[in-house]
Amino acid sequence: MEAYLFNLVNLIAIYAILAVTLNFVMGYAGIYSLAHAVFFGVGAYTGAWVAQNWSTSLFVTLPVAMLASGGLSLMLA
């Protein structure tokens, strides 16, 4: 039960951060953009793939996912 609650709180925190940043982009700036969801998806997919195939260490997975999402944003900018 403890692992389930930890996973639930983790997912709530991730989606809360996503909602707050989406509010900044769409609410305050008034910009409708689907890139927000694309970068979130690329980072999540890359993080899951790296954790499954290369390393389960967060210190390896997180920077690789950030670099993949940031690299895509630089290519699109």
What's the mean pLDDT in 33-49? 89
CA distances from 18 to 2, 22, 41 (A): 24, 6, 11
Q: What is the mean pLDDT of the chain?
A: 89
- Over the Cα atoms of the chain, what is R_g? 14
Is pTM beyond 0.75? Reply is: no
pLDDT 10s digits, 23-38: 888 888 888 888 888 9
Q: Are 40 and 18 in contact (CB under 8 A)?
A: yes
Instruction: Sort 69 into a burial class: Cβ within 10 Å, 0-12 / 13-18 / 19+.
Output: buried
Q: Are 42 and 72 in contact (CB under 8 A)?
A: yes
Tell me: pLDDT of 55 over 80.
Answer: no
